[in-house]
Chains A and B, each alone.
Chain A
Amino acid sequence: MDIKIGYYVELFIQFLLDHFKPFFSSISNVIEGFMTGTESALLLLPPLIFIISMALLAWFFTNRKIALFTLFGLLLVFGMGLWISFIKTFVLVLVAGFFSLCLGIPIGILCSKSKNTDRILTPTLDFMQTMPPFVYLIPAVMFFGIGQVPAVISTVIFAMPPAIRLTKLGLNQVPGELIEVGHSFGFTPFELLLKIQLPMATPSIMAGVNQSIMLSLSMVVIASMIGASGLGSNVLNGIQKMEIGVGFEAGLSVVILAIILDRITGNMRFGQKKHSK
């Protein structure tokens, strides 16, 4: 027996390539432009100013401890001479995270509203999450060439499922009585979503945001295999040349970025009450 699923997948990809090339190039151009713009802007900024503003941001959203960690962590990255790689990775995560949320949250809302969408999407999400992330790299390269853009695309695919799942979960967990409150006052479905469901689901959605960003971060390192520059390519260099020092320094920088992003997104409270007792 010889079942050639792989062969048909190749045929399908070839079909897409033959007929939708202009479509993929335009996506590629948009993302490329978006990323280069952000990257140059951040690189133009003196590192010290960037570091201090990140620390202040951390202080504003969370607390002093995390702000201090941000300050010293980023100084260390700068001191190790990995600043340019760091910014490239940072932008990659930011852009990929941004797109996963822009797609993931609305899809999550759709899933909670429509049972049919949910029925189709749940197995798709399972598939997306359990498929080894390296596999996404191949079609990404075929469609978008090598470099930052395929890295962003494959990262978005890999990082989107938790945003969808946790948005859906949060919306489904809103108590029925609160939904009835909205209906009893004559809310439209949109008003109900905006005034009751989304605010009630915020903690769960924020957990999804946090998870998406963490997954993006783990993917950008893998994406260095298809030519994404940044900390990932430093790690890859280390592996290829058997230089433990280079690999460790780049890895440490990834960890610092991960902790900063995790603590900030994990502690944000949107629409939650701001008083503390």
Chain B
Amino acid sequence: MNKIEVQDLTHIFGPHPKRGLKMIKAGQSKDDVLKKTGLTVGINNVNFTIRSNEIFVIMGLSGSGKSTLLRCLNRLIDPIEGRVIVNGTDIKSLDKKALREIRKKEFGMVFQNFGLLPYKTVLENTTLGLDVQTLSDEEKLERAEKSLEKVGLSGWEDKYPDELSGGMKQRVGLARALSVDPSILLMDEPFSALDPLIKQEMQELLLDLYDEMNKTVVFITHDLDEALKLGDRIAIMKDGEIVQLGTPEDILTNSKTPYVEDFVKNVNRSVVLTASNIMIKPSVLLYENDGLNVARYKMSQNNFTSIFVVDDKRRYKGLVLFEDVYQAIKNGENDISSLVRQTKIVCPDDTINDIASDLAQSDVPFPVIDGGNYLLGILVKGTILENI
């Protein structure tokens, strides 16, 4: 189901933005508009849908319009053109009161610099969003305590923000957003201000919380590693436009523009790419019923030192080595089954990181096998090196 639909969304900063809108519609570029009118195009005709209960990552460098786009979703910024439909309601058509209601009910927002009030305690900060909801005091307290517990801050209720580390501050920010129990969590570069180790910890926390709850998360980041780790789908933005939208695998393996390729070049692909992304189709396989001479022929034709054995349904059985076959023929045997050896097998979802060191030490390729024992492909050392 679609949670948020964004249609033809355009936003231009500056006085009398309609002038710029005409130029953009006439096909002029962002730079042209800036040169001729001094207006900045924040978002340029963006269309996409966010599904219920997914983590949707919007990624781009600073100035790409990603934060503006996020703020259009709850109308912190009022886009000059286009529609944002949340749960079937076009939020651009709402009056101020109805807008406040939908913000209270549907949205929780987490900010880059935490957005905590320095003169209020952790608990008071957490109840900030609840204070304007119609709830009893006990219920407010209970919900605040519960969300503080979720983010691992029980016992810190009476501290002040300046007594907390950066990671803990953002935990408070997260608890505050969760306490109002929104269906959509908007996160504006929430972990960018944190050091790498804390950042990872917070990413794990977010993923854990996400698994527990029924929430749609819209996550802004400039860090592709983070986007690939968290996102179910990723939209890459440049100059106010979405240049590519897809799953992490799509983005990595099928970069559509040089811009995306540049991004992808720098990422540590070994944590993201899985065996299924890089396996190759075996050109030749040995069947159970093949004889020893067939085995020797297939291997010597292809310069293999080993070959995988499958049954007639292509189910994986094991592999045989050239030297074993050679010996057996010399000894006058003609039965393959006694020569079949077992090696490490790999699941399609294993990442390169998981496999690399084992494969590096192995003399033979690894088979990639699905749940039905079906041989999907093979991994050889060379392909891994190509992909890292």
Contacts and interface: CB of A to CB of B under 8 A. Distances in A.
Interface in B92-150: 99-104, 107-109, 111-113, 115, 117-120, 128-129, 131-132
Contacts of A196: 117
Tell me which of A175, A177, A186 has the highest count of chain B C-beta atoms within 10 A of its own C-beta. A186
Interface residues of A, number: 21
Given A177-B113, A191-B132, A199-B119, A184 B76 contact: yes
Contacts of A119: none
B117 A271 contact: no
Contacts of A184: 74, 76, 103, 107-109, 186
Nearest to B159: A275
A185 interface: yes
Contacts of A186: 99-104, 132
B119 A185 contact: no
B72 interface: no
Given A184-B76, A191-B132, A177 B104 contact: no
Nearest to A178: B115
Given A180-B76, A180-B111, A181-B109, A187 B117 contact: no
B128 A188 contact: no
Contacts of B111: 177, 180-181
A11 B129 CA distance: 56
B180 interface: yes
Nearest to A181: B115
B115 A185 contact: no
A187 B132 contact: yes
A272 interface: yes
A273 interface: yes
A175 B114 CA distance: 12
Contacts of A202: 119
A245 to B, nearest CB: 49
A200 interface: yes
Interface in A245-277: 271-273, 275
Contact of B180 (A178, A185, A275): A185
B156 interface: no
Nearest to A183: B76
B160 interface: yes
B293 to A, nearest CB: 74
Contacts of A180: 71, 76, 109, 111, 115
A160 to B, nearest CB: 27
Interface in A154-193: 175, 177-178, 180-181, 183-188, 191
Nearest to A202: B119
B111 to A, nearest CB: 5
B41 to A, nearest CB: 21
Interface string A12-56: 000000000000000000000000000000000000000000000
Interface string A52-70: 0000000000000000000
Nearest to A187: B132
Nearest to B101: A186
A205 to B, nearest CB: 13
A113 interface: no
A233 B100 CA distance: 58
A271 B119 contact: yes
Given A184-B74, A185-B132, A195-B131, A178 B103 contact: no
Contact of A272 (B107, B108, B119): B119
Contacts of A200: 117, 119
Given A177-B115, A183-B76, A273 B104 contact: no
B76 A185 contact: no
Given A183-B76, A185-B128, A186-B132, A199 B117 contact: yes
A195 B76 CA distance: 18
B128 A195 contact: yes
B129 A185 contact: yes
A181 B129 CA distance: 9
A183 B160 contact: no
B160 A273 contact: yes
Contact of B103 (A183, A195, A271): A183
Contacts of B71: 180
A199 B107 CA distance: 25
B160 to A, nearest CB: 5
Interface in A76-108: none
B119 A273 contact: yes
Tell me which of A181, A200, A272 has the highest count of chain B C-beta atoms within 10 A of its own C-beta. A181
A177 B190 CA distance: 13
5 contacts: A177-B112, A180-B76, A185-B129, A187-B100, A271-B119
Interface of A: 175, 177-178, 180-181, 183-188, 191, 195-196, 199-200, 202, 271-273, 275
Given A175-B113, A180-B109, A200-B117, 7 more contacts: A180-B115, A183-B76, A184-B74, A184-B108, A185-B104, A186-B103, A199-B117
